[in-house]
């Protein structure tokens, strides 16, 4: 099995487009936008790479160093679970897990001093490497996910009925353009509220993977 579904440059192309659009929509903390990173990311994978992909919501754990874990969700009687206030969202293909938000982990956990310097890395892992339990995540890059099917369905349904989200998908698709062309650093769009506006890609570099 291939280590990655898409290369780092393609991964970052998708990340930067979604990141930029979140900033444009007034989200000063794009690291809180996992629903759009996952939903738009899955959409772009299907549309431009013909890769079957879907956004998935639930609890999530990643080992960032020996026995040092990042967790999205909450503990309930020792089990990591999720609800509509405590969750993460990622992409799953038939063979891999992809988190297009992972370069922003240091921002996501900025309030936790020990994680303030997490390296910016791509997260793209074969599903067969997933650990079954949180306690099994002991080495850097180990991960475990626990899908919340109801939450996944609720989020996907709400996004499909939200005009702002629909516009988000449309602009992301237009900005992505053709895979064979160099990524445009900016795009000009017509906003019904702000009028004509120009959006630029964020300056963020990633050259490592989990």
pLDDT for residue 191 is more than 70: no
142-161 pLDDT, tens per residue?
999 999 999 999 999 999 88
pLDDT of amino acid 37: 96
In the chain, what are the domain boundaries?
A: 8-209
Per-residue confidence (pLDDT) for residue 27, from 0 to 100:
62
Q: What is the CA radius of gyration of the chain?
A: 17
CATH tag, 8-209? 3.10.550.10
More confident residue, 45 or 190: 45
pLDDT in tens, 1-17: 788 999 999 999 999 99
Output the pLDDT for position 186.
Answer: 76
pLDDT score of 26:
65
Confidence band, pLDDT 50/70/90 cuts, at residue 177? confident
Chain segment 91-111, per-residue pLDDT in tens: 999 999 999 999 999 888 877
């Amino acid at each position: 099995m291939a280590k990655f579904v898409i290369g780092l440059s393609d991964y970052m192309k998708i990340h930067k487009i979604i990141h930029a659009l979140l900033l444009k929509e007034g989200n000063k903390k794009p690291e809180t936008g996992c629903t759009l990173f996952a939903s738009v990311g899955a959409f772009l994978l299907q549309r431009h790479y013909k890769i079957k992909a879907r956004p998935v919501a639930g609890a999530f754990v990643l080992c960032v160093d020996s026995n040092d874990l990042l967790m999205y969700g909450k503990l309930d009687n020792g089990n990591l679970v999720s609800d509509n206030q405590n969750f993460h969202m990622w992409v799953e293909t038939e063979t891999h897990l992809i988190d297009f938000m992972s370069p922003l982990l240091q921002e996501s956990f900025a309030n936790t001093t020990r994680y303030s310097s997490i390296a910016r890395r791509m997260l793209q892992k074969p599903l067969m490497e997933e650990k079954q339990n949180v306690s099994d995540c002991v080495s850097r890059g180990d991960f475990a996910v626990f899908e919340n099917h109801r939450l996944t369905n609720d989020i996907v349904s709400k996004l499909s009925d939200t005009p702002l989200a629909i516009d988000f998908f449309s602009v992301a698709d237009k900005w992505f353009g053709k895979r064979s062309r160099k990524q445009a650093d900016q795009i000009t769009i017509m906003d019904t509220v702000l009028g004509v506006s120009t959006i630029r890609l964020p300056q963020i570099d990633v050259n490592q993977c989990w």
